[in-house]
Structure 1
Amino acid sequence: MNLIDWKKRLLTEDFQKKLNMLYPGKAKENLPRYEHLLDLFSETYPEDTAEDIHLFSAPGRTEIGGNHTDHEHGRVLAASVDLDMIGAAVPTNDGKVSILSEGYPACTIDLTDMSVRKEEVNTTAALIRGVVKRFMDLSCSISGFRAVVTSAVLPGSGISSSAAFEVLIGNIVNGLFYGGKADPVEIAQISQYAENVYFGKPSGLMDQTASSVGNILTIDFADPSNPIVEKLDVDFDSMGYSLVIINCWASHADLTDEYTAIPVEEQEVAGFFNKKVLNEVPKGAFMERIPELRKAFGDRAVLRSFHFYADTERVPRQVEALKKGDMNTFLRLVNESGRSSWMYLQNIVPCGANEHQEMAIALALCDELLAGRGAFRVHGGGFAGTCQAFVPDDMIDSFTERMNRLLGEGSCHVLSIRPTGGCELL
């Protein structure tokens, strides 16, 4: 459909139903975002308004269980959320991919040179180039496209704007040039490749899988080339708790070494047993060799390994509790995971940070304000970014008001689970 046709379609009952699937209870407030997206497309590419325009969406994600377990091929519990990136795209024949993300400079890559570029590490161009290159490796013929993107997934909000962007680009390429043949898990793997190889971040596969597959899901990464993904038929919103993400207002800048050290140290321990990742090492074997492991790799590496075993074992118990509607057990396990991250994984305070410990302050406030109810934990990578709280519905107003007053206005984001992952709005 061209621009005029899309503007008419946005007002139809059928499109409202599609929005209700993506944003349960929030369709009306998201409709203006699509109207704005089409206006932005018209302003950016006025020559393409009569072309066949395609619309896409990819959600942010929240990690619920399994902190830093995916890169060691462990288990996670995650969910897509109702904040997303949306894009409008048209195919071209100029051999270029041009994308304007609102609020950022336009980015163009030439499809004749898809090699990894050092100067593009940690840039949007690297993510685009990596996703497109991986599709090319799958014999996908890509002639070029132009797109605009707007986002409700705020950078640094801890719900993985990078994964949402990668999954969005993956869905664009899949829809425009691959006939939709790539399934959601494959799109997630393509996205991870772009982040690892081109962007230069050694991430696991959880963020991309949660964004691409959607809903509440548990993932077993024992075989990362074929992860076992199970969607959970759980109505979380009916359980009497709100999911809140709290921004601790600390920057992720210059923390790459902190994040990288976690898998490096854990994989050094695995290497002691001639294995690549901890999931390949039986916990009993690890326990028997702790004196030697401490001497070889230091205590922090051993403590981080303790966390991996405990948190990957916790995930199936969290899944079982959710399936049974046993919120008391589920919340207890969330709190256990949070304590394990702080005590053993040690991804709360960057090394040497004495004056600035923003994540620790945010967690301490959660502990105080919840007063023994609900649950809280570090969210995602740690060191900076966000923490996560499950707040009883009767406390949500007072909790968010006080947290915003104590940490700064806009600290709290109350989220809902989105039942659908990355997709094209056909």
Structure 2
Amino acid sequence: MNSQSLLNACRNKQLDPVFASVYGTSDLCAVHDRFCALIEGFMHHFGEAADLSLFSAPGRTELIGNHTDHQNGCVIAGAVSLDAIAAAAPCAEPVISLVSEGYAPIQVSLSTLSPQESEKNTTAALIRGVAAEMAKRGYAVSGANIYVSSNVLSGSGLSSSACFEVLIGCILNEFYCGGALDAQTLAKIGQVAENVFFGKPSGLMDQMACAVGGCVYIDFADLSAPKVVPITFSPDAFDCALVIVDSGADHADLTDDYAAIPAEMKQCAAFFGKTLLREVNPDTFFDSVKELRTQATDRAVLRSIHFFNEIERVNLLKNAMEANDQPAFFQTVLESGRSSWELLQNISSPSHPNEQSVALALTFAQRLLHGQGAVRVHGGGFAGTIQAYVPHSMLDAFVNGMEQVLHPGCCHVLTIRPVGCLKFAID
């Protein structure tokens, strides 16, 4: 559909049934206003398009499995109700032009599909990486004009980078791969873009959750074919809300802190002649701690202990979710959070010892919950967000209390989104 016709259809609410299939019906006015603004933004920057399409990719929340994916471990994650949306059209010139609200326009020439040192830690690197991985798979990827609007804020702990990678992958998949690449493949492409082109070590959990959608248990033991098991879950089943709390600190200069975790875990794996901790027998590991300490740092050993214990907790949480066992669910979440703080040590950065925003947020969340629900660090840690399960009867008091300590608007009440990345089916 051409851009003007698409805008008219959106303004006339003809697209509301399509939007309702993803966002539900409770706030459709805000949804269609958001998409009208998106299309208008595209037309303002790129002019008329003969064939304009709309796309969406959700953010993700890690329910458990903190820093296990980069060791081919297990995780449970879910797509969330916040997302990045795009209006996009293909173009013949091999250049991807992207405008993202609030950021400077970007142009990426596809004449070069190798990592560029000057692009490290930039959005351009992610775009180039996604295109390069598709080209490597034999697809003739060319240009596109893309206008993006996202409420998955950078540094929110909801994986804005993975959401973006998957969104770009979804767009190029539709334009140049005939939609042939499935969600898991798009996730793997996004991970390569982030690891190799952007320069940030990461596992596959973030991209997989954003691409697949819903709530999923993922076992990365066989990285070429991860085991993905959908889990029917809603916090409402436990009469609580899922709240992501922004601590006020961001991830801007913490790449070294993140990178140290997989590096130290691999250091311990290497002691046993393995590459990753998932390849090490847990009993062998624990029986060898004394000898291991002569070859690896104590912090590396503690972080590795977290890994093995967290793998067990992932399966405990899966069982609790499937059995609708609220006490076991909350207890497992709390134990995961305690392990992240004490063993994984990703609550604050050693290079910023006076910055303790996440620790402060966790402490006051626990105080406000009065032993109810559960709370843990969310995602990569060191800065960013925490995750809380708050009984509905306590939600208003919890939000007000956290805002008094942190800042207004720090709490985001989220739901699990049932679908992953997609092109909206519009006739």
Q: Distance in 1 between matches of 2:274 and 2:314?
A: 23
Partner residue of 1:216?
215
- 2:294 counterpart SS class: helix
Task: Give the alignment of 1:234-245 within 5 angstroms.
Answer: 234-245=233-244
Partner residue of 1:171?
170
Corresponding letter in the other structure for 1:36: A
Partner residue of 1:37?
38
Partner residue of 2:318?
319
Q: Distance in 2 between matches of 1:342 and 1:29?
A: 39
Corresponding letter in the other structure for 1:221: F
Q: Distance in 1 between matches of 2:189 and 2:402?
A: 38
Q: Distance in 2 between matches of 1:35 and 1:13?
A: 10
Partner residue of 2:6?
6
Q: Distance in 1 between matches of 2:389 and 2:312?
A: 21
Pair 1:337-2:312 in alignment: no
Partner residue of 1:203?
202
C-alpha displacement at 1:123, in angstroms? 0.1
Worse overlay, 308-317 or 247-256: 247-256
Q: Distance in 1 between matches of 2:344 and 2:142?
A: 45
Which string of whole-angstrom CA distances, capped at 9 and with x for unpartnered residues, describes residues 368-406 of structure 1? 000100000000011101000000011001100111111
C-alpha displacement at 1:239, in angstroms? 2.8
Pair 1:98-2:91 in alignment: no
C-alpha displacement at 1:12, in angstroms? 6.6
Which string of whole-angstrom CA distances, capped at 9 and with x for unpartnered residues, describes residues 157-211 of structure 1? 1101101100000000001111110000000000000000000000100000000
Q: Distance in 2 between matches of 1:29 and 1:324?
A: 36
Partner residue of 1:303?
302
C-alpha displacement at 1:263, in angstroms? 0.5
Task: Give the alignment of 1:255-266 within 5 angstroms.
Answer: 255-266=254-265
Q: Summarize the Cα distance change of 1:310–1:12 in structure 2 as closer, same or farther, 3 Å threshold.
A: farther
Q: Distance in 2 between matches of 1:34 and 1:353?
A: 40
Q: Summarize the Cα distance change of 1:282–1:213 in structure 2 as closer, same or farther, 3 Å threshold.
A: same
C-alpha displacement at 1:156, in angstroms? 1.2
- 2:83 counterpart SS class: strand
Task: Give the alignment of 1:29-68 within 5 angstroms.
Answer: 29-46=30-47, 49-68=48-67
User: Does structure 2 retain, via aligned residues, the 8 Å contact 1:56–1:422?
Assistant: yes
C-alpha displacement at 1:45, in angstroms? 0.7
Partner residue of 2:122?
123
Partner residue of 1:290?
289
- 1:86 counterpart SS class: strand
User: Does structure 1 retain, via aligned residues, the 8 Å contact 2:243–2:388?
Assistant: yes
Partner residue of 1:111?
110
Q: Distance in 2 between matches of 1:120 and 1:35?
A: 32
User: Does structure 1 retain, via aligned residues, the 8 Å contact 2:306–2:339?
Assistant: yes
Q: Distance in 2 between matches of 1:423 and 1:414?
A: 23
Q: Distance in 2 between matches of 1:354 and 1:128?
A: 35
Which string of whole-angstrom CA distances, capped at 9 and with x for unpartnered residues, describes residues 82-125 of structure 1? 10000011111111111111111111111111121111000000
Partner residue of 1:389?
388
C-alpha displacement at 1:225, in angstroms? 1.5
Pair 1:74-2:54 in alignment: no
Corresponding letter in the other structure for 2:294: K
Q: Distance in 2 between matches of 1:332 and 1:352?
A: 32
Pair 1:373-2:379 in alignment: no
Corresponding letter in the other structure for 2:115: V
Instruction: State the superposition RMSD in angstroms.
Output: 1.2
Q: Distance in 2 between matches of 1:35 and 1:86?
A: 12
User: Does structure 1 retain, via aligned residues, the 8 Å contact 2:97–2:108?
Assistant: yes
Partner residue of 1:26?
27
Q: Distance in 2 between matches of 1:234 and 1:409?
A: 29
User: Does structure 2 retain, via aligned residues, the 8 Å contact 1:20–1:26?
Assistant: no
User: Does structure 2 retain, via aligned residues, the 8 Å contact 1:22–1:82?
Assistant: no
Partner residue of 2:140?
141
- 2:60 counterpart SS class: strand
Corresponding letter in the other structure for 1:412: C
User: Does structure 2 retain, via aligned residues, the 8 Å contact 1:363–1:378?
Assistant: yes
Ranges in structure 2 where 5+ consecutive residues have no aligned partner: none
Moved over 4 A (4+): 11-14
- 1:297 counterpart SS class: coil
User: Does structure 2 retain, via aligned residues, the 8 Å contact 1:90–1:145?
Assistant: yes
Q: Distance in 1 between matches of 2:311 and 2:30?
A: 38
- 1:153 counterpart SS class: coil
TM value normalised by structure 1: 0.97
Q: Distance in 2 between matches of 1:211 and 1:173?
A: 16
Worse overlay, 149-158 or 2-11: 2-11
C-alpha displacement at 1:13, in angstroms? 6.9
- 1:274 counterpart SS class: coil
Worse overlay, 229-238 or 9-18: 9-18
User: Does structure 2 retain, via aligned residues, the 8 Å contact 1:237–1:416?
Assistant: no
Q: Distance in 2 between matches of 1:395 and 1:136?
A: 51
Q: Distance in 2 between matches of 1:408 and 1:265?
A: 35
Q: Distance in 2 between matches of 1:30 and 1:405?
A: 30
Pair 1:230-2:229 in alignment: yes
Q: Distance in 1 between matches of 2:333 and 2:157?
A: 17
C-alpha displacement at 1:352, in angstroms? 5.0
Corresponding letter in the other structure for 2:16: Q
Q: Distance in 1 between matches of 2:141 and 2:2?
A: 21
Pair 1:17-2:17 in alignment: yes
User: Does structure 1 retain, via aligned residues, the 8 Å contact 2:237–2:324?
Assistant: no
- 1:122 counterpart SS class: coil
- 2:295 counterpart SS class: helix
